[in-house]
Amino acid sequence: MKFLVAMSRPSRRGHLQSTTRLIRTLRRTATWIVCVLALHILAMIIFEGMVPFDALWLTATTVMTVGYGDLSAATVPGRISTMVLMYMGGIYVLAKAVGDYTDYRAQMANEKARGSWRWNMRGHLLIIGQPVGNAEQYFIRLTDQIRAHESWIDIPILLLTEVFRNRRLPSSLADRGIALWTGNPTEIQSLEAVTPADARAVVVLAESGTDSAADAGVFDTVDRIRGAGFVGPIVAECVDQLNRSRLMRAGATTVIRSVHGFPEMAARALVAPGAERLVENLFTAEGDECRRYELPEIWHGTWTELTLRLVTAEIGIPLGYADPEGCIHSNPVGRAIEARAIFVIVHDRHQASAQVQIARLLRG
């Protein structure tokens, strides 16, 4: 899977200074090596009487430690020049430069894993906050569900959270191309580091699934993101549904219940805006409700026929059924079925009489 992730400068001032020092060191090293090589070429021309190309060939094979043996220094001054210039002044310095660069790459990889590397992303999905419980599994399920949608397959994902502070980003998330910034959205530096204005979409998680005080933190984060110039969709979690309108006024485009055990809710809100309200209704007893109705006898027929009967009679909309063995099947379009019970979305005014109506409608 390809992810459009680009890296920029290190995150904090100390890291930026480290990068600057490395660049300066590499530049000085490169200049030093060029001078050493030029002097060795000149020494081979003067002491060994080589033509310029042969001197260049000998210098190149020596510094790369290849040593074909077709050319070599024969005079004492030539050999001394090779030992001083190439062995001490060239190969050692080149090896040290390679070592410095390798150390820098290792440091960079460590900073990325610990969430202290600043990513310069564009068109990414920004997920802010920390779910209650197993955060690793929550983020896995959430991101997998989002990327399962055809228009979000290659979306780069960046987490702004403190849940992995003092430890590394789990490999299960890193292997999915998920990047991490360890910080709090109330910190200006942290919010700037995740470039919210350049994101494609933002998901803001509440720090609690039951404490309505968490809504204040979500409100503040949404307001800050809009203040940073972000104009895309923001999916925000809300504990107290009375705060839903306040979050919408703050700039959230979609507000969902804080259900940290069900990250698929946030995924639906992102890839199919509005679907989350339908899913929420299935969890409540108000208005339309998904109910199970036992049938007086096993019903044989097609799913299309069963659906048409219930919809035409204005009883409700079937979602699935239980077969004689008790296995649950969801919307088996085009299939012949044997149903022992059916699951139907029924409006509250029909719920009391639906059992009788369904039994009469599907009998025989």
pLDDT 10s digits, 60-78: 888 777 777 788 888 888 8
Q: How many CB atoms lie within 10 A of CB 6?
A: 10
What are the residue boundaries of the structural domains of the chain, listed by start? 13-111, 125-282, 289-362
Phi then psi for residue 215, to 5 deg, are -65, -30
Q: Following DSSP, what letter does each residue of 140-196 receive, concatenated?
A: HHHHHHHHTSGGGTT--EEEEESTTTTSPPPHHHHTTTEEEEES-TTSHHHHHHT-G
Q: What is the pLDDT along the chain (364 residues), one digit of tens a residue?
A: 444 343 344 444 445 555 666 677 778 877 888 888 898 899 999 988 999 999 999 888 887 777 777 888 888 888 888 888 777 776 677 777 777 778 778 878 888 888 888 888 899 999 999 887 889 999 999 999 999 999 999 999 999 999 998 889 999 999 999 999 999 988 888 999 999 999 999 999 998 888 889 999 999 999 999 999 999 999 999 999 899 999 999 999 999 988 777 888 888 888 888 888 777 777 676 667 888 999 989 999 999 999 999 999 888 899 999 999 999 999 888 788 999 999 998 877 777 788 888 888 887 5
Find out whether 356 and 296 touch, Cβ atoms under 8 Å: no
Whole-number Å distance between alpha carbons of 247 and 243? 6
CB under 8 Å to 191, separation ≥6 — which residues? Answer: 160, 185, 224, 225, 228
Phi then psi for residue 155, to 5 deg, are -65, 125
Q: What tokens does 83 get?
A: 């030992």
Exposed e or buried b for every residue in 170-196, given b needs 16+ CB within 10 A?
A: beebeebbbbbbbbbbeeeebbebbbb
Which pLDDT score, from 0 to 100, does residue 14 have?
A: 44
Highest CATH level, class, for 13-111: mainly alpha
Domain 125-282 of CATH type 1.10.3720.10? no
Give the predicted TM-score (pTM) of the model. Answer: 0.69
Q: Specify burial of residue 323 (Cβ count, 10 A radius: 0-12, 13-18, 19+).
A: middle
Q: How many CB atoms lie within 10 A of CB 306?
A: 21
pLDDT 10s digits, 249-296: 999 999 998 877 788 888 888 888 888 877 777 767 666 788 899 998
Phi then psi for residue 325, to 5 deg, are -90, 0
> What order do you get walking across the sheet with 125-128 strand by strand?
178-182, 157-161, 125-128, 201-204, 234-238, 254-257
Whole-number Å distance between alpha carbons of 297 and 339? 9
Residue whose structure tokens are 């790369």: 64
Whole-number Å distance between alpha carbons of 155 and 4? 7
Strands 336-346 and 317-322: antiparallel
Report how far apart, in Å, the C-alpha atoms of 223 and of each of 32, 207, 251 are. 53, 17, 7
